[in-house]
Structure 1
Amino acid sequence: MSENPGLIPADVDVAEAQRDMAQFDALRPHIARLTKLLGRAEDSEMALGSAAMVTALEGYALLKVLGKGSGLDALRRDMSVRSNRKARATESPAQAA
């Protein structure tokens, strides 16, 4: 644009566009670093959530086996409602009947 100023309308501020482009170029490396950091944070979130879920499922399995008759039936029932919710939602009407 600056090489052919006669082709550019008078209301286009070429200097401002060049400043914007310079700032945009300066921002790119920061965005790349932040994107990489966000990816790592999301990976950590997924790994920690998975570990927490595995521990919860192991605890629930132990509670089902060891909790019978030890006054933990109400807790086991509450946990079973939470863990079986997905299975109930995927049943077809024929399976439910």
Structure 2
Amino acid sequence: MPTTPISATLAQTDRDAVLQAISTIKEKLPFLVDLSADDRKTLPKMGDKSRAFVSKALEVAAQNPEFLPRSFDLEEMRKDVQLFEALYPVLLSLTQLQELVDDTSLAVGSEAYAAALQVYNYAKASGQGAGLDAVVVEMGQRFARKPGKSKSQKAAL
């Protein structure tokens, strides 16, 4: 939890501008794909070690195209490598931004929930006779537990 509580607002115009910027990013990257979970599992991944391997393989293929089959598209490989390298800093920047948004959302949500718990507890303790009984019961549904199986039902299993 941050040592200093978050005290900020996001104006509707700023929110709209951020969403428009995200929309612009999507428009500038029309080739983005949406992989299934299975696709993600089966595709080979390119990390730092693989980047060096891929660069070396491209260099070897470019200098020695005679050993490659005719069906091998060296130019397509070059484009894939160039696109990966161009996307990499964008990915890093967006990942950092997402972590900041996630962390801020988590922290401010926690602050809001803690404040709501205080309101609920104050309303329970001091709100009788102030017309808050129905609201306190309604808020209390958040903590209602589903009835579990009784001991006799568990024993029958």
Structure having the higher Rg: 1
Unaligned runs of 5+ in 2: 1-60, 152-157
Higher relative contact order (CA 8 A, sep 6+): 2
Q: 2:86 matched to 1:4? A: no
1:29 maps onto 2:83 in alignment:
no
Which is worse superposed, 7-16 or 46-55?
Answer: 7-16
TM-score of the superposed pair, with normalisation by structure 2: 0.53
Q: What TM-score does the superposition give when structure 1 sets the normalisation length?
A: 0.83
State the distance in 1 between where 2:94 and 2:147 align: 39
Q: Percent identity?
A: 34
The 1-side partners of 2:147 and 2:106 are apart by: 24
- 3-state DSSP of counterpart to 1:11: coil
How large is the Cα RMSD of the aligned pairs?
A: 1.7
Structure 1 residue 92, shift from structure 2 partner = 6.4
The equivalent of 1:56 in structure 2 is: 116
- Between Structure 1 and Structure 2, the one with more helix by share is 1
Q: Structure 2: how far apart are the matches of 1:93 and 1:7?
A: 74
